[in-house]
């Protein structure tokens, strides 16, 4: 399904960082939502800032958000805990269109549904297996999965283990 761009995307001023702060606030809010929705739709778990340029430009109207503008948008996302920088270089970030907790809960509910507690699953099974094809967490980025499982570990609902050279998890 084609991603449906918001009305702002075709509005030229959307790509100019507004000097009026009230207006800017609204503008940045629209950008925040756009980034999250876009990543959600395209199942983007990790965003590379450089490669994200297409998101911040609209070739149809020949407009592009400045690097200053992009910076501001990412700042807003971080303030909302919707992104997390992978490292200090700030070249890549995790995009939490679902938070690790939300992922954790989703996975755990699935496990409960399937009665798979007290069994061990590999990471592969959880994310790439045929059984999970229709689940939201299918194709989940490994780093994201680990974060999700860490939250479950914290609430004693799971435990990450290594066995036979693979990584797996046991649910309780």
Partner 1 sequence: MDRLYFKDKNDCSKEITSYSHTTWKGIRLYDGDSKTEYRSETAYLTPSRLYFSSNDRPAMNMVLDLKCIVLVEEEEGSILRSSKIILHLLPHVSEQHSKPYTRSSASFIKLAFSNGGLSNFKICIQKPLLERAWEKHTESSSTSHSVAFQDMKNLIDMAKDMVQLASVMSSKIKDRHGDISDDETVKFKSYLLSLGIEDPVTRNACSSSNMFCQHLAKEITTFLLTPISDSGGFMSLSDAYCRVNRARGFELLSPEDFFQACNYMEQLNLPLTCRKFESGVLVLQLQSETNSQLEKDTESLLQARRKLTAFEVSQELGITIILAAECLYTMERKGVLCRDDTVRGLVFYHNEFSSRT
Binding site for partner 1 (CB under 8 A): 7-8, 11-13, 15-16, 18-20, 22-23, 26-27, 30, 63
Q: How many CA atoms lie within 13 A of 73 on its CB side?
A: 27
Q: How far is the CB of 52 from partner 1 (least distance, A)?
A: 21
Cα of 135 vs its chain's centroid, Å: 16
Closer CB to partner 1, residue 15 or residue 108?
A: 15
Q: How far is the CB of 50 from partner 1 (least distance, A)?
A: 22
C-alpha dist (Å) from residue 60 to 6, 16, 34, 54, 82: 14, 16, 17, 12, 28
∠168-169-172 over CA atoms, to 5°? 160
Closer CB to partner 1, residue 20 or residue 81?
A: 20
Q: How far is the CB of 72 from partner 1 (least distance, A)?
A: 15
Closer CB to partner 1, residue 65 or residue 149?
A: 65
Closer CB to partner 1, residue 26 or residue 41?
A: 26
Residue 92: helix, strand or coil by DSSP? strand
Q: How far is the CB of 26 from partner 1 (least distance, A)?
A: 4
Closest CA to 123 of 152, 97, 99, 143: 143
Give dist(CA 36, CA 52) in Å, integer: 13
Q: How far is the CB of 81 from partner 1 (least distance, A)?
A: 23
Closer CB to partner 1, residue 14 or residue 45?
A: 14
Give dist(CA 43, CA 20) in Å, integer: 34
């Amino acid at each position: 399904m084609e991603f449906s761009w918001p009305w702002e995307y075709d509005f030229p001023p959307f790509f100019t960082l507004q000097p009026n702060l009230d207006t800017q606030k609204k503008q940045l809010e629209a950008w925040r939502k756009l980034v999250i929705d876009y990543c959600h739709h395209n199942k983007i778990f990790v965003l590379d800032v450089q490669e994200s340029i297409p998101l911040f430009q609209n070739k149809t109207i020949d407009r592009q958000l400045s690097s200053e503008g992009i910076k501001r948008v990412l700042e807003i996302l971080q303030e909302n805990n919707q992104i997390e920088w992978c490292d200090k270089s700030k070249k890549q970030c995790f995009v939490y269109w679902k938070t690790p907790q939300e992922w954790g809960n989703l996975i755990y509910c699935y496990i409960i549904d399937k009665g798979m507690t007290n069994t061990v699953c590999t990471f592969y099974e959880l994310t790439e297996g045929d059984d999970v094809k229709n689940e939201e967490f299918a194709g989940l980025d490994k780093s994201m999965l680990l974060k999700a499982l860490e939250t479950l570990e914290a609430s004693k609902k799971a435990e990450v283990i290594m066995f036979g050279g693979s990584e797996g998890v046991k649910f309780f």
